[in-house]
Structure 1
Amino acid sequence: MSELPLLGLAAQVSDLKANPALLHDAPRDIELHDFFMADVLGGDWRPLAREARAVLRGHGGRLGIHGPFWGLDISNPDPDVQAIVARRMDQALDVCAFLGASQMVIHSPYTLWDHHNLDHFAWRSAHEWIIANCHACLRPAVARAEALGVTVVIENVQDKDPDIRADLVRSFESRAVALSVDTGHAHFMNGVGQAPPVDFFIRRAGDLLQHVHLHDGDGNADRHWRVGDGSIPWAAVFRALSEAPRMPRLILELSDKAGVPASIARLRDLGLAR
C-alpha cells in the first residue's frame, strides 16, 4: 500500500506560534492567511513577513499564501477597478517573493447567477467577456508569477459547474495558473445550489488540480468545520484524489485551528491521509 498523502494546513503566523507542533511533526505544506486584506497588502507587511520567516525557519514543507479576495471580483469589467485588482495581486506576489512561497490561492469569479444566466444571452461572448475581464485583471500577475515560480490556483466559491474554472485556467495558456477545489464550498453549493458532489469537482479538475482546501460542513453554509463534524463523504473525496494524475497540496482550512489535530487524526483513522 502506498503511503497516505500528507495533510497541510492554512494558518496565520499567530496560529503557528501558538501551535509549534503543527510545524514539526511532519513537513506539512503551509498556507499563510495573513496577507489577503487590503490594509495589510497596502501597508507595511514586511515586519509580519519577517516574523513568518522566523516562525517557519527549518520548516520542510512547501509554502503558499491565500491571495486577496475580499471585494475583489477578478472579472470586474471596469478598467479602474481592474487596475486595483491588478495592484493587489502584484502586492501579494511581492509577499510570495519575500517569503519564497510557490503557490497563491485566489477566488473564482463565477456565481450561481452566472450558471443560470450566461447562456441566456444571444451573444455567445458572454462567457468570453468574463474571461477577457479576468485577463485584464490577472494577466500582469500571471506573467510575474511565471517569472517567480509561483502557481496561482483558482478555487471554487459559488461555482455550480465544476468545469467552468477549467476553461478560465486553460485560457491563460500558462503553467502559472491551475485549479483549486474547496471541499466546503463545493458541498455548500451542492446543498443550496444543486451542484454536483464534492468528489465530482475533484475528478473533473483532472490534471489542472494542484490545490485542495479541506474542511467539513453541512451543505447549508460555509462552515469550515473540522473533518468529521459535517456531512462531506470523505472516502469518496479521497478516492477521487487517488485518481488524480498527481496529488495536489491538501490544506486543512478550519475556522478553529484547535481542530487541526483532530482532523488529521480523523483522516488517519479512516486510512485516508496523515
Structure 2
Amino acid sequence: MPCYVNLPARWIHAQPAWSGWFVNGRVAPEFGLDAASIALPDAWHKDMAARFRDAGLACSVHLPFWGVDPGDPDDARASRARDDLRRGAELAGIYGARHMIGHPYYRTNQREKELDRWLETSRAIWPELPKIAGAPLFLENTYETSPDAIAVLAATLQGEAASGPLIGVCFDVGHWRSFAGKSAPAELDPWLDAFCPFALHLHLHDNDGSLDQHLGLGKGAVPYAALFAKLDARRKSVTATLEPHDTEAFAASIGWLAENKPIAAALGWEEPRMEALPLAEIAKNIVKE
C-alpha cells in the first residue's frame, strides 16, 4: 500500500497541470472533495480517474467535510450533509479509491444524551458509504479532545453493520496536537490504545500547537519519532497520507522521510521523481486556499 499525498480535486480542475505533476512525480494522491468538486460532472471525474489509473498510481478519497456534519442537530443541514457524503462515496467508486476518509465531528463537550443522538445519526449514514464506494472508510478525529467518541462509533459500526469490516480509524496526528491540545509522547498512549484495535490510517502534518498549520514533518511540535516507536512496540501496521498545504511543507516532509528511512519504508513511501516535480514552479502557480 502506498503512502498518499493530499490533492484537492478543485485544484486539478482549476489548474490541470497538478495532475501531470503528480503523475510524472509518481505521487499517489488522496483526492480531497468539497462542495465544488462533487458538483463537477461524472465525465470529468472519470477522465481524471483514468489518467491516474493508466499511470499505475493508486488513489484514495477524502470525503467532503467543510460544513458537512451528518450529526448536525438541524435536520435540513444534516440531510444535505448525508447527500454530500453519498455523492463523495459515488465518486470514490469512480476513482477506484483504496479507501475513504470521513469526519464524524463529535464535540467532546456535548452532553451524554447528545452523544447518544450523535451515535444514532452517525449510524444512519456512515455504514452506507463503504457499500456505495466498494472501499473501506476511516473515521477521522478533528476537534475531539478525547479518542473515545470515535472509538465508540467505530466499534458500534463494526458490530452492527454489514460493512463493519470496512470501518477503520484515521488518526490525524496534527489535529491531536492542535485541536486536542496534546504534545507529550505519553499523551499519545490513550489515543493509540483506543484506535489500534481498528484498521488504522494516519494523516501526517505538523504544527506548533497554536493552529492547524499543516507544516512539513519535523517543522512543528508533533512527537513523530515517539509515535512510530509506540506503533512499532504495538506491532501495529498502518497506512498514511501526507497532508502538506503548500510546497514548502511538502518538500520538508520529503526531507524528513529521507532522514527517517525505516519509518518511510514502513509507510510504503517512495521518494518522488523530483526532477518531474518542480516544487518552485508549482509554488508560483499554486491555487490558493
Q: What TM-score results when the alignment is normalised by the length of structure 2?
A: 0.76
The residue that corresponds to 2:103 in the other structure is 107
- The one-letter amino acid paired with 1:131 is L
Aligned match for 2:153, one of 153, 162, 168: 168
Aligned match for 1:206, one of 174, 193, 196: 196
Seen in structure 2, the aligned counterparts of structure 1 residues 149 and 135 have a Cα distance that, compared at 3 Å, is same
Seen in structure 2, the aligned counterparts of structure 1 residues 232 and 69 have a Cα distance that, compared at 3 Å, is same
The residue that corresponds to 1:82 in the other structure is 78
The residue that corresponds to 2:117 in the other structure is 129
- The one-letter amino acid paired with 1:143 is E
The residue that corresponds to 1:268 in the other structure is 258
How many residue pairs get aligned? The number is 252
Where does structure 2 lack aligned partners over 5 or more consecutive residues? 159-163, 270-289
- The one-letter amino acid paired with 2:117 is W
Aligned match for 2:237, one of 238, 247, 257: 247
8 Å contact 1:211–1:249 — kept in the other structure? yes
Note the 1:21-40 alignment, pairs <5 A. Answer: 21-23=24-26, 29-33=28-32, 35=33, 37-40=34-37
More off after superposition, 82-91 vs 65-74: 82-91
CA distance in 1, matches of 2:260, 2:183: 29
Note the 1:1-274 alignment, pairs <5 A. Answer: 7-12=3-8, 13=12, 14=16, 15-23=18-26, 29-33=28-32, 35=33, 37-61=34-58, 63-114=59-110, 118-119=111-112, 125-136=113-124, 138-139=125-126, 142-146=127-131, 148-173=133-158, 174-191=164-181, 197-198=187-188, 200-244=190-234, 246-271=236-261, 272-273=263-264, 274=269
8 Å contact 1:215–1:227 — kept in the other structure? yes
Q: What TM-score results when the alignment is normalised by the length of structure 1?
A: 0.80
CA distance in 1, matches of 2:244, 2:135: 24
Paired-residue identity, %: 21
- The one-letter amino acid paired with 2:78 is Q
- The one-letter amino acid paired with 1:152 is L
CA distance in 2, matches of 1:161, 1:181: 12
SS at match of 2:196: helix
For the aligned residues, what is the CA RMSD? 2.8
Kindly provide the CA deviation profile for residues 119-156 of structure 1, in whole angstroms up to 9, marking residues without a partner as x: 5xxxxx432111012123x15xx235136431121111
CA distance in 2, matches of 1:152, 1:168: 12
